[in-house]
Structure 1
Amino acid sequence: MSVRVRPTHCGLDAAIEVISGKWKVVILWALSDRHRRFGELRRLIGVSEKVLFQHLRELEADGIVHRETSPGLPLRVQYSLTDRGQALNQALKPLGAWGREHLPERAVPVPGDN
């Protein structure tokens, strides 16, 4: 199921392995409040299709993201967080709070980041 290529040594190592990659945490943030289609995610995050597709597949393999395909043409694909993904988002909230508290003065906050 997992895309991990090396064994993990502790819980923190396992968590970091799942969220490693520049865009994975941003994807989790974007999916935190509702289902989103691929194009909507791409526009919201500002990442290439290739990278977004790769990260979504890895998150899906780790049981963090659910991919739902609706029948018909055009093909409609929506992504959402699984219960495991929601739990991961909850675990990342203290890290986000730490980041906001220790942001350099010149950093610009992410819109909608509460």
Structure 2
Amino acid sequence: MYNTYKRVVAWIFAVTFMNECFLFFVRVAVSQALFLYTRQLDHSNIVMRIEVNTLKLRKAKSPSPCLITQAMDIIGKKWVLLIMYQLLSGPKRFTELEAEMAISGRLLSERLKEMEMEGIVTRHMYPEIPPRVEYELTPKGKAIEPVINQIYGWSSDWLKR
């Protein structure tokens, strides 16, 4: 079984690298792979169907021509608008954001890094002991304030608590 397992993994990588039109980035979590074998009617060839629950195929992304889609790719992720809402009142430390929003530290860190890469927030590090890091909205991030206010107004008018 282990040799078959190794051969299938080697086959996956061989096919992947031999294919000229490789459009996918393949991540195989070998330990979680499930291999299902089915035989063809003539029993001469074994057809392997590989189902991997952690196999992620990502197509090479090209930017969408739709501006709304582009905007939602940035601000439509969970917690992003709430982080921006919290930062509208001014710069905040990581621990303040984490406490106010009841979000995990790992996810908050991930979202802040993404927002920093998009130019929505800036990260200020102060040379103090213990280290102090504050996050603040950039002008690009502050420009969404009217949208957040509209969402808040709509939700207070139409959503029941």
In which range does the TM-score fall when normalised by the shorter chain?
0.7 to 0.9
TM-score (norm 2): 0.59
The yes-or-no answer on 1:99 pairing with 2:151 is: no
What residue is the counterpart of 1:15 in the other structure?
A: 71
Give yes or no for the alignment of 1:86 onto 2:154.
Answer: no
| Superposition pairs of residues 51-62 of structure 1, within 5 angstroms | 51-62=107-118
Quick one: which amino acid aligns to residue 134 of structure 2? Q
Q: Could you say which structure has the greater relative contact order, defined with CA pairs below 8 angstroms and 6 or more residues apart?
A: 1
* SS state at 2:69 partner: helix
Is 1:64 aligned to residue 107 of structure 2?
A: no
Deviations 1:1-49 (A, max 9, x none): xxxx551222211211111222111101100011100001000010000
Aligned-residue Cα RMSD (Å) equals 1.4
- Find runs of 4+ consecutive structure 1 residues off by over 4 angstroms: none
Structure of higher CA gyration radius: 2
Q: Distance in 1 between matches of 2:87 and 2:64?
A: 26
Unaligned stretches of 5+ residues in structure 1: 108-114
Identify, as 1 or 2, the structure richer in strand.
2
TM-superposed deviation, 1:72: 2.5
Deviation at 1:62, TM superposition (A): 0.7
Residues in 1 aligned to 2:147 and 2:81: alpha-carbon distance in whole angstroms: 12
Give the whole-Å Cα distance in 2 for the aligned partners of 1:14 and 1:96: 22
Instruction: Report percent identity of matched pairs.
Output: 32
Partners of 2:144 and 2:62 in 1: how far apart?
A: 20
**C-alpha contact (below 8 Å) 2:85/2:148 kept by paired residues:** no
Structure 2 partner of 1:110: none
Structure 2 match to 1:42: 98
For each residue in 1:75-112, what CA deviation from the matched residue of structure 2 results, as whole angstroms up to 9, or x when unmatched?
A: 11000100000002223322322222211x2x2xxxxx
Question: Any idea what SS the aligned residue of 2:135 has?
Answer: strand
